[in-house]
Amino acid sequence: MIRVGVIGYGYWGPNLVRNFAADPQADMALVCDPQEDRCLTAQEAHEGLKSCRDAVQLIHDPNIDAVAIATPVSTHFPLAKAALEAGKHVLVEKPITQTAAEAQQLIEIAERNRCVLMVDHTYVYTAAVRKIKQLIDDGTLGDVLYYDSVRVNLGIFQHDVDVIWDLAVHDLAILDYLLDQKPVAVSACGKKHADNNTESLAFCTFFFDSDTIAHINVNWLAPVKIRRALIGGNRKMIIFDDLEPSEKIRVYDKGVTYTEDPGQIYRRRVDYRIGDMHVPFLDRYEALQQVVHHFLDCIIHDKQPQTDGHMGLRIVHLLEAAS
């Protein structure tokens, strides 16, 4: 039974507490938030849950084995560092830290203290992304030619980061999980609007050694919410629309073959193949439940998480490069 403490009971914290409370491998023991009313809310929702207002107290509580951190990004590093140094296993919200140097430090402390360090890149644990991974790995898609994502809406969801750190971080985690290779170059354009001093929209392109190219379009000033990625393989192509209630993944049996047509100057022979379209059934579960379960599993069986500190570091590297 892993005894868990959660720091931060704002937007995401309640979801962590609820999932740890429901997992039979965990004892959801202590929640910490500087605002007393939030602590009370947490205790009303979960009988027997203790609370405190000081993160240092939680981190050094000898009755806590693992700490989950759901606080503003700027506090991730000091809190995670303190927890790891106190020998606690750490699950931290994405992005892991504000700088690659900080992430590198956390990795080293975790390894030195033999603690699990995991980043909550929730998307990686969704049924949709798992299915796409499977379709790539079993060769259904063929070579991945491009990943082209539009992730826009009206409104800012995080207040201490710009639109790239808030929204593009999801696509970078998905790409890191889906593709074996990592980007070798980045090109990004953003725009600050009105009296705002952070980027509110940005267009990022990531280049790989292979034929793959990735493009991420993020925008806090869009009239509608769009969460859609086109993933083009040379055998099949996918539309991943995360706002679709049940048909999130559409697999198109479409492709293209080029051959030279010597008879015509202006015309290459291009064969477009158009076949059936398929919407695979996806298991319905809350991705965060898998995150929590995987974190506990890695602690108990001394395993490396799929979204470990190294993965978190790679994402921060790319976010720094794009910013």
Q: Which residues bind its own copies (CB under 8 A)?
A: 44-45, 47, 72, 74, 145-146, 148, 150, 152, 154-156, 159-160, 187, 189, 191, 193-196, 201, 203, 205, 207, 211, 213, 215, 217, 219-224, 230, 232, 234, 237-239, 247, 250, 252-254, 256-260, 266-268, 270, 272, 274-281
41/44 Cα distance (integer angstroms): 5
DSSP notation for 184-220: SEEEEEEEE-TT--SEEEEEEEEE-SSS-EEEEEEES
By beta-carbon proximity to its own copies, the closer residue of 194 and 301 is 194
By beta-carbon proximity to its own copies, the closer residue of 107 and 152 is 152
From the CB of 223, what's the least distance to its own copies, in Å?
4
By beta-carbon proximity to its own copies, the closer residue of 187 and 304 is 187
Residue whose entry in the numeric block shows the structure tokens 């379009």: 217
By beta-carbon proximity to its own copies, the closer residue of 244 and 297 is 244
From the CB of 93, what's the least distance to its own copies, in Å?
14
Which tokens sit at 55? 């993160």
By beta-carbon proximity to its own copies, the closer residue of 105 and 190 is 190
Which tokens sit at 161? 């980061």
Longest pairwise C-alpha distance within the chain: 80
106/138 Cα distance (integer angstroms): 35
Sheet arrangement for strand 50-52: 50-52, 26-32, 2-7, 66-69, 89-93, 117-120
From the CB of 159, what's the least distance to its own copies, in Å?
5
By beta-carbon proximity to its own copies, the closer residue of 105 and 252 is 252
From the CB of 194, what's the least distance to its own copies, in Å?
5
From the CB of 136, what's the least distance to its own copies, in Å?
15
| Contact yes or no for 53/32 (Cβ under 8 A) | yes
Tell whether omega for the bond before 34 is within 30 degrees of 0, i.e. cis.
no
Which tokens sit at 135? 């379709």
From the CB of 160, what's the least distance to its own copies, in Å?
5
